[in-house]
Structure 1
């Protein structure tokens, strides 16, 4: 039945001559967009990348079956971001990157044919066979109605702008029944030996492109867009440091860095204050561990630095931390401290620490951040076109020094005979490494020394009244027992009663070197006169010479005060 309809339709139409759509080539005002948004998928069949909103639309609405393969990268054309596919052209307004539309290629390809009978308005046909659209004055042919309705035709193809007609393809020379729509041309292929009848979208994207005079580089196969460099670290989940990392990461997510462009970590963040979403977090203050507004953002700057170094991009400025910290020693010497004394990354102070780098490739790179709040895993990735450069980071030397002598500070807020260890001592370490970046043709692009000098620290103890420090440094249990006996004697003299400090409370448990700087105190255990609270998770982002922007009070202020005493 369908074949008889097609044959009858063919007899009633004027068979168009070959290359009926051919027109004089016009200049195509398009150029590479020099941007992209992950995720990205490379199509080796044509050698082009599809990314971000283009990829999402492509996959959601039929992929290669409806649109064919990409035949260009994303281009800037007439104020839009566009990408040509074999059977369509996708377009996105730069201010609305989440909205993809299909260009009206059907109208553009048939604009010069409006005098032809098939493109002039028609009367409604038999409603049992066709569907009439008064908006354009055309009937959706029975031949294409099922395909149009099954594939969300109004969105993907638009309204019919012609009747069904027989046309000879510019590209293949074969004749088919076709119908033009605003955004597409549907084609019906009669069955032949070895192949059943089928309906498909015409190659309007390819045809439209070929009607224009364009730079051949636009259709030349491109390099795949890949992750050039990536780094993952664990930030204590649900911590102040995680809050600060997330606030800072928002400024880098999807950041496009064009060829030759520099990135300043602090300038990208701008104002760093409570008003911009930051809270006090763990930091290096006065040579020890304290709280600082935005404490913890060095997790992010460290991941950024490691990604830049792996990607082989040009490093301009980087500073290591002044202490060797457990959260950052998974890759020794590859940390990056940042700090602004003004609270604004655009105002540079004498003691400020920044991370700066430059995109020295010939194409844009894009930064993405992925945060898993429940596990604390944070990943920074730098995406770009693979230009063939390779990176090697070599170890040169590592020299360790012993921790400093323990520090003992009196704290009037502690109860008599109580001792608290509030910081675990760390070894000093001098690290020298080297990064070498080689281009695809064997040239040395970068040869960077990587140096890190971490100062040693000692254990820090705070003690209450009655503790003999000299004795405590030799035998803490004996010092606390002596203090307890003295307190007991005093209480007996005053009240006629008293009791010694229990034996179980006369020892100071050893700190786990990692946990001491990573976990919060376990509040589920009952308090005891001798306690060992752990310092909150550490991401220091200031140097020993840096000024404080704020504080948290309580225990951490005691730590700061202890270090500031002579």
Structure 2
């Protein structure tokens, strides 16, 4: 059962052929994901952006379902989804790849703390570091390599400087020791859209971590009721098939009770949209059948 739950954690939904009996094609791309940790979907139009620009390490889990929110950047209302580390806004008036926009959560969290980043001590150009005259701050190791490694996909070669700026923003502080929301005192540098933290005792790939700014700004997880219908089908080793409704509550618990501890050999999920109800601003974005099969 544990393996089944892990599979559901990363459950991939690909467009079907228009009916629940059609098998998903391996060539069809992923369009949505459901996380049992927060009981929220990442669905169109945010899934492609979320998955194509770093996924969990960069944005974290979804904190809440998509809803209408007023953007602090321009005071306008957009369909928005909050993640652990950032806020994604849907701007249908923009051409691709600029329809999904990131919030400036680094600036916003500092404002919530009553701190003005423009009052922070400035840096000076020096060897081995990048200097940003726009804000007067430097970018050095241990954060420089991480910042350069990631960026929004703007169809440039490699990871261009402009793409890293689009993802994280410009540095708005010099590195300094700070105590984060979890009580750890770590080397910290603030950016317009992120907070970099250095955890030297972690394995090398996890020494630079992004702060959970979305969670700090918007609070705890708010499970979202999936506005979808369909069934999850689990096939046991003895060939018994179990069905549980997607819209009947936590479907993995239903399967767990039904299987009585017997190992599951295959799980499939068929969902019919829409992901969003008729009164939702994103109604019509995803209204087809979706399905996947997971071999355990």
The bucket for the TM-score relative to the shorter chain is: 0.5 to 0.7
- 1:186 matched to 2:185? The reply is no
Residues 399-414 of structure 1: matches in 2 within 5 Å?
A: none
Residue of structure 2 equivalent to 1:334: none
Residue of structure 2 equivalent to 1:533: none
The partner residue of 1:222 within 221, 224, 235 is: 224
Structure 2 distance, partners of 1:363, 1:188, is 44
Residues 195-206 of structure 1: matches in 2 within 5 Å?
A: 195-196=203-204, 198-206=207-215
Residue of structure 2 equivalent to 1:120: 121
Residue of structure 2 equivalent to 1:83: 81
Residues 451-462 of structure 1: matches in 2 within 5 Å?
A: none
Deviations 1:39-95 (A, max 9, x none): 432111211111112100001011011111000111211112211111111112253
Give the length in aligned residue pairs.
194
| CA separation of 1:367 and 1:382: change in aligned 2, threshold 3 A | farther
Residues 403-442 of structure 1: matches in 2 within 5 Å?
A: none
Residue of structure 2 equivalent to 1:208: 217
Residue 118 of structure 2 contacts residue 172 of structure 2 at CA under 8 Å; is this kept in 1? no
| CA separation of 1:84 and 1:115: change in aligned 2, threshold 3 A | closer
- 1:156 matched to 2:167? The reply is yes
Deviations 1:181-226 (A, max 9, x none): 011111110126xx4561111101111113xxxxx8xx43123353
**SS in structure 1 at match of 2:192:** coil
Structure 2 distance, partners of 1:156, 1:141, is 18
Residue 53 of structure 1 contacts residue 97 of structure 1 at CA under 8 Å; is this kept in 2? no
Residue 40 of structure 2 contacts residue 226 of structure 2 at CA under 8 Å; is this kept in 1? yes
| CA separation of 1:71 and 1:97: change in aligned 2, threshold 3 A | farther
**SS in structure 2 at match of 1:221:** coil
* Higher relative contact order structure (alpha carbons within 8 Å, sequence separation ≥ 6): 2
Residue 42 of structure 1 contacts residue 225 of structure 1 at CA under 8 Å; is this kept in 2? no
| CA separation of 1:58 and 1:363: change in aligned 2, threshold 3 A | same
Residue of structure 2 equivalent to 1:174: 184
Deviations 1:441-500 (A, max 9, x none): xxxxxxxxxxxxxxxxxxxxxxxxxxxxxxxxxxxxxxxxxxxxxxxxxxxxxxxxxxxx
**SS in structure 1 at match of 2:61:** coil
Deviations 1:245-297 (A, max 9, x none): xxxxxxxxxxxxxxxxxxxxxxxxxxxxxxxxxxxxxxxxxxxxxxxxxxxxx
The TM-score with structure 2 as length reference comes to: 0.58
Structure 1 distance, partners of 2:184, 2:285, is 47
Query: Residue 362 of structure 1: CA displacement?
Result: 8.8
Residue 110 of structure 2 contacts residue 117 of structure 2 at CA under 8 Å; is this kept in 1? no
Deviations 1:94-114 (A, max 9, x none): 534851111000111123322
Query: Residue 154 of structure 1: CA displacement?
Result: 1.1
**SS in structure 1 at match of 2:224:** coil
Structure 1 distance, partners of 2:134, 2:285, is 45
| CA separation of 1:139 and 1:368: change in aligned 2, threshold 3 A | closer
Residues 258-269 of structure 1: matches in 2 within 5 Å?
A: none
Residue of structure 2 equivalent to 1:551: none
Residue 178 of structure 2 contacts residue 187 of structure 2 at CA under 8 Å; is this kept in 1? yes
The partner residue of 1:64 within 56, 61, 64 is: 56
**SS in structure 1 at match of 2:147:** helix
The TM-score with structure 1 as length reference comes to: 0.31
Structure 2 distance, partners of 1:109, 1:59, is 24
Residue 62 of structure 2 contacts residue 84 of structure 2 at CA under 8 Å; is this kept in 1? yes
Query: Residue 161 of structure 1: CA displacement?
Result: 0.5
Query: Residue 368 of structure 1: CA displacement?
Result: 7.4
The partner residue of 1:45 within 19, 30, 37 is: 37
Structure 2 distance, partners of 1:45, 1:157, is 25
| CA separation of 1:41 and 1:97: change in aligned 2, threshold 3 A | farther
Residue 45 of structure 2 contacts residue 285 of structure 2 at CA under 8 Å; is this kept in 1? no
**SS in structure 2 at match of 1:223:** coil
- 1:135 matched to 2:134? The reply is yes
Q: Which runs of 5+ in 2 are unaligned?
A: 1-29, 71-76, 152-163, 232-271, 291-296
Residue 42 of structure 1 contacts residue 224 of structure 1 at CA under 8 Å; is this kept in 2? no
| CA separation of 1:97 and 1:209: change in aligned 2, threshold 3 A | farther
Structure 2 distance, partners of 1:368, 1:107, is 31
Structure 1 distance, partners of 2:179, 2:284, is 47
- 1:381 matched to 2:249? The reply is no
| CA separation of 1:198 and 1:368: change in aligned 2, threshold 3 A | closer
Rg (Cα) greater in structure = 1
Structure 2 distance, partners of 1:185, 1:368, is 32
Residue 367 of structure 1 contacts residue 381 of structure 1 at CA under 8 Å; is this kept in 2? no
